[in-house]
């Protein structure tokens, strides 16, 4: 008669606890120090500290405190420590054989082990939460729900990480490897994405910025949980940051916690099945699950060779720029060779012998190599539509073009326009992707096109571009790139996106124009600017306003903030025309928040609320209107005080190679 399956064994439970309680105690001490002790110390003088003067309540202090206490990181470390100690017997032949010869079935060993691990990892959290609640209530906080939301996050994270730890322990017969696998599984998606992005940035057209568009996905819980599930508190203060005027808080990411909880149960179920089927003779094996062996071997070979091969091909370009096709061929050679080496190395690790050179392994290696080459070829032919990807209009939150200036478009009309320009740009990739080899005489600059999607994803493409007016620029090249310049150089686009959204609603708070006169005594240019100290604020603003209007006129005439592609340090039209004089102003609108295209582009908008912005203007001698206004308004009095970069460099004796001022 087969015995009934038992899922719990009290003797084993006690035995497990007796070996892991010390880790739980250390964890408890850390939690106690991080939560109640820190809270008590930092709020010991809550009645008369500076926060009290600002109007902070104890509830605000508690929410702020709980929003910064780590969640997933604690859980991640504790889970592997306790689970590894509990299931230590799986990694020693003697312990493994003896434990499994006792009258305890694997279900009992598995679930008793998990339960005891979770008791040791969760009990400190729950006790700390109770103590923290007591402390918070004792210090006068009415609402303590943030403590329990934090607890839920840690509990779910712990269950999730314990399940991942269990899975890792089941995959191998070596403890060190199990711990390595645990961390690898936690970062697996991120690592795979990084490998793809690194490869893409080296080999694919427009993917130079591939690494900057990375966002943490739900598949990488250790990165995702702290960012997306937390107690969030926002304390609003007045303009001077001296008085609290509002307090909001939220408990973010409950839906993710539910997903992670379900995922943990699934992973535990899978781990249990693996344990049931685990062959105990695989103790000390690098990988003890048969199906994982080819996955490991192929995965390691593929990702390592892709990154290493693509990077090696890119590095060789230090000596001579490759055309797109040559770079691919070089990369394929590297990827193939490195892939084969890694494949055999992983076979040696798996088989625990150097004697892996058999016909069977060779055929596996050939199979892998062909598959890897197919993928590389797929990238080359863009079968995954990565290079040609232009997201659907309805999915775009904003679209941006970043060249000399960064412009972010949130309105449908301009988003549509950016998409059209991008699609037009991609129509003839052949010439565009090889600008470095096709136009070696022309300096390149970078044109970035970026989309922020409504689902939070970011797509960024980066292209090398040359001056559309260059002698050797072909008609095809100009046809692809000039429309983008025509778009970004439109006066209304410049006003809205270079000066900013408050260009016609704000007032000019400050304005500075510097002049430079060469002084023989000091052998340098001497700086000067008119501060208008005798004028009232009103008079100054009127003066600034007149100059600003002249600047807008120059914008309308296409004389300022005009972008070009490419970079040519010998371009006389710039060095002889662009002024070394600084001109900048501050525009302020107290009713409308200033939307910074640059902050929006880098995801920093609304980190702090801004009502004003400093604008720096690169003037040229062609900016007749603003130069006249500056002179009329007495910012300078003599045209001799206008100095171009060319003049400055010449007088200072800087040549092209050692140009300090340049432009």
* Binding letters toward another protein, positions 249-278, x by CB under 8 A: ------------------------------
> Position of tokens 């695989």?
282
By CB neighbour count within 10 A (0-12 exposed, 13-18 middle, 19+ buried), where does 40 fall?
middle
Closer to another protein by CB, 92 or 446: give it.
92
Q: Which is nearer to another protein, 336 or 361 (CB)?
A: 361
Q: How far is the CB of 182 from another protein (least distance, A)?
A: 22
Distances (CA, A) of 454 to 26, 79, 208: 43, 35, 23
Q: Reduce the DSSP state of residue 275 to 3 states and report it.
A: helix
Centre a 10 Å sphere on the Cβ of residue 460 and count the other Cβ atoms it contains: 21
Least CB distance to another protein at residue 88 (A): 9
Q: How far is the CB of 11 from another protein (least distance, A)?
A: 4
* Beta carbon nearer to another protein, 11 or 573: 11
Q: Least CB distance from residue 362 to another protein, whole Å?
A: 17
Q: How far apart are CA 115 and CA 83, in angstroms?
A: 10
| Nearest CB to another protein, comparing residues 101 and 455 | 101
Report helix, strand and coil shares of the chain as percent, to nearest 5: 55, 10, 30
Q: Determine the interface stretch with another protein among 7-15, 438-446, 456-464, 562-570 (rule: CB under 8 A).
A: 7-15
**Residue placing its CB nearer to another protein in the complex, 97 or 584:** 97
Q: Which strand (E) or helix (H) includes residue 548?
A: helix 537-556
How far apart CA 56 and CA 46 sit, in angstroms, is 9
Closest CB 85 distance from another protein, rounded Å: 10
Q: Which of residues 150-189 bind another protein (CB under 8 A)?
A: none
- Minimum distance, C-beta of residue 4 to another protein, in the bound complex (Å): 8
Which 107-136 residues touch another protein, going by CB under 8 A? 108
CA atoms within 13 A on the CB side of 40: 11
From the list 53, 234, 239, 281, which residue makes contact with another protein (rule: CB under 8 A)? 281
Helix (H) or strand (E) holding 14: helix 10-32
User: Any idea what the Cα angle at residue 238 is, between residues 235 and 242, rounded to 5°?
Assistant: 85
CB-based contact 567:445 (threshold 8 Å): yes
Q: How far apart are CA 94 and CA 100, in angstroms?
A: 10
Spatial distance between the Cα atoms of 426 and 412, rounded to a whole number of angstroms: 21
CB nearer to another protein: pick between 56 and 110: 110
Choose between 191 and 280: whose C-beta lies nearer to another protein: 280
Q: Does 6 bind another protein (CB under 8 A)?
A: yes
Closest CB 91 distance from another protein, rounded Å: 13
Q: Is 1 in the site for another protein (CB under 8 A)?
A: yes
Tell me how many residues contact another protein (CB under 8 A): 28
Q: CA-to-CA distance for 663 and 646, rounded, in angstroms?
A: 9
Question: Which CB, 101 or 655, lies closer to another protein?
Answer: 101
Of residues 75-114, those binding another protein (CB under 8 A) = 89, 93-106, 108
Give the range of 1-9, 419-427, 454-462, 569-577 binding another protein by CB under 8 A.
1-9
For another protein, the closer of residues 110 and 503 by Cβ is 110
Residue with tokens 């689970």: 83
Q: Is 42 helix (H, G, I), strand (E, B) or coil?
A: helix
> Which residue, among 480, 487, 482, has the nearest Cα to 423 in the 3D structure?
480
Shortest distance in whole angstroms from residue 94 CB to another protein:
4
Burial class, 357, CB count within 10 angstroms (exposed 0-12 / middle 13-18 / buried 19+)? exposed
Name which of 276 and 423 has its Cβ closer to another protein: 276
Work out whether 354 is an interface residue with another protein (CB under 8 A). no
**Shortest Å, Cβ 354 to another protein:** 16
Of 243, 279, 430, 549, the one binding another protein by CB under 8 A? 279
Least Cα distance to 205 among 488, 457, 431 occurs for 431
Choices 9-17, 150-158, 166-174, 588-596 (CB under 8 A): range interacting with another protein: 9-17
The dihedral built from the CA positions of residue 293, 298, 301 and 302, taken in this order, carries a sign that is negative
Q: Does 280 bind another protein (CB under 8 A)?
A: yes
The distance of closest approach from Cβ of residue 106 to another protein in the complex, given in angstroms and rounded to an integer, is 6
Q: Does residue 558 come out as left (phi exceeding 0), alpha (psi in the -120 to 50 range) or beta?
A: left
Task: Using only the alpha carbons of the chain, give its radius of gyration.
Answer: 32
284 sits near another protein (criterion: CB under 8 A): no
Contacts with 607 (C-beta within 8 Å, 6 or more apart), sequence order:
599
Contacts with another protein, 13-52, as mask; x by CB under 8 A: --x--xx---------------------------------
**C-beta of 3: minimal distance to another protein in Å?**
3
Q: Shortest Cβ distance from residue 9 to another protein (Å)?
A: 8
Contact yes or no for 297/350 (Cβ under 8 A): yes
**15/389 with CB nearer another protein:** 15
Q: Which residues bind another protein (CB under 8 A)?
A: 1-3, 6, 10-11, 15, 18-19, 89, 93-106, 108, 279-281
């Amino acid at each position: 008669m087969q015995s009934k399956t038992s899922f719990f064994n009290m003797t084993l439970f006690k035995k497990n606890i007796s070996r892991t309680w010390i880790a739980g105690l250390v964890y408890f001490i850390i939690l106690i120090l991080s939560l109640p002790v820190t809270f008590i110390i930092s709020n010991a003088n809550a009645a008369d500290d500076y926060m009290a003067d600002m109007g902070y309540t104890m509830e605000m202090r508690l929410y702020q405190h709980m929003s910064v206490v780590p969640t997933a990181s604690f859980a991640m470390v504790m889970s592997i420590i306790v689970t590894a100690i509990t299931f230590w017997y799986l990694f020693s032949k003697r312990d493994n054989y003896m434990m499994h010869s006792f009258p305890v079935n694997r279900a009992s060993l598995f679930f008793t082990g998990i339960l005891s691990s979770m008791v040791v990892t969760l009990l400190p959290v729950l006790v700390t939460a109770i103590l923290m609640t007591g402390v918070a209530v004792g210090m006068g906080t009415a609402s303590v729900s943030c403590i329990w939301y934090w607890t839920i996050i840690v509990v779910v994270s712990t269950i999730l990480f314990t399940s991942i730890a269990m899975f890792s322990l089941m995959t191998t017969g070596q403890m060190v490897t199990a711990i390595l696998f645990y961390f690898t599984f936690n970062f697996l998606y991120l690592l795979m994405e990084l490998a793809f992005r690194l490869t893409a940035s080296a080999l694919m057209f427009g993917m130079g910025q591939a690494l900057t568009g990375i966002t943490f996905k739900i598949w990488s819980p250790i990165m995702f949980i702290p960012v997306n599930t937390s107690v969030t508190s926002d304390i609003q203060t007045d303009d001077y940051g001296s008085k609290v005027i509002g307090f909001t808080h939220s408990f973010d990411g409950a839906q993710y916690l539910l997903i992670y909880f379900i995922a943990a149960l699934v992973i535990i179920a899978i781990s249990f099945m693996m344990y049931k089927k685990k062959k105990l003779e695989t103790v000390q094996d690098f990988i003890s699950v048969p199906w994982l062996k080819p996955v490991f071997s192929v995965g390691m070979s593929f990702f390592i060779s892709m990154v290493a091969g693509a990077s090696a091909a890119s590095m060789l370009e230090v000596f001579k720029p490759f055309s797109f096709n040559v770079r691919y061929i070089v990369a394929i050679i590297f990827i193939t060779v490195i892939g084969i080496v890694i494949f055999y190395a992983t076979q040696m690790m798996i088989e625990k012998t150097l004697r892996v050179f058999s016909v069977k392994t060779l055929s596996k290696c050939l199979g892998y190599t062909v598959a890897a080459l197919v993928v590389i070829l797929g990238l080359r032919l863009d079968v995954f539509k990565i290079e040609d990807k232009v997201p659907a209009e309805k999915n775009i939150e904003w679209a941006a073009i970043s060249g000399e200036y960064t412009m972010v478009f949130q309105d449908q009309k301009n988003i549509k326009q950016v998409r059209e320009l991008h699609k037009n740009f991609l129509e003839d990739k052949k010439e565009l992707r090889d600008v470095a080899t096709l136009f070696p005489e022309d300096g390149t600059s970078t044109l970035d096109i970026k989309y922020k999607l409504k689902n939070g994803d970011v797509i960024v493409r980066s292209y090398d571009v040359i001056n559309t007016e260059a002698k050797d620029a072909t008609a095809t090249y100009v046809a692809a790139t000039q429309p983008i310049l025509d778009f970004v150089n439109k006066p209304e686009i410049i006003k809205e996106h270079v000066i900013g959204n408050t260009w016609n609603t704000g007032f000019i708070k400050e304005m500075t124009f510097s002049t430079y006169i060469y002084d023989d005594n000091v052998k340098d240019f001497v700086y000067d600017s008119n501060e208008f100290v005798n004028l009232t604020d009103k008079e100054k603003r009127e003066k600034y306003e007149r100059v600003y209007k002249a600047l807008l006129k120059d914008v309308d005439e296409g004389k300022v903030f005009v972008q070009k592609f490419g970079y040519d340090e010998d371009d006389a039209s710039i060095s002889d025309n662009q002024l070394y004089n600084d001109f900048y102003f501050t525009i302020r609108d107290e009713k409308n928040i200033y939307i910074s295209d640059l902050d929006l582009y880098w995801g920093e908008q609304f980190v702090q609320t801004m009502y004003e912005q400093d604008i720096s203007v690169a003037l040229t001698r062609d900016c007749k209107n603003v130069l006249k206004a500056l002179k009329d308004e007495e910012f300078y009095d003599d045209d001799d005080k206008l100095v171009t970069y060319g003049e400055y460099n010449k007088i200072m004796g800087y040549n092209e190679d050692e140009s300090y001022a340049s432009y």
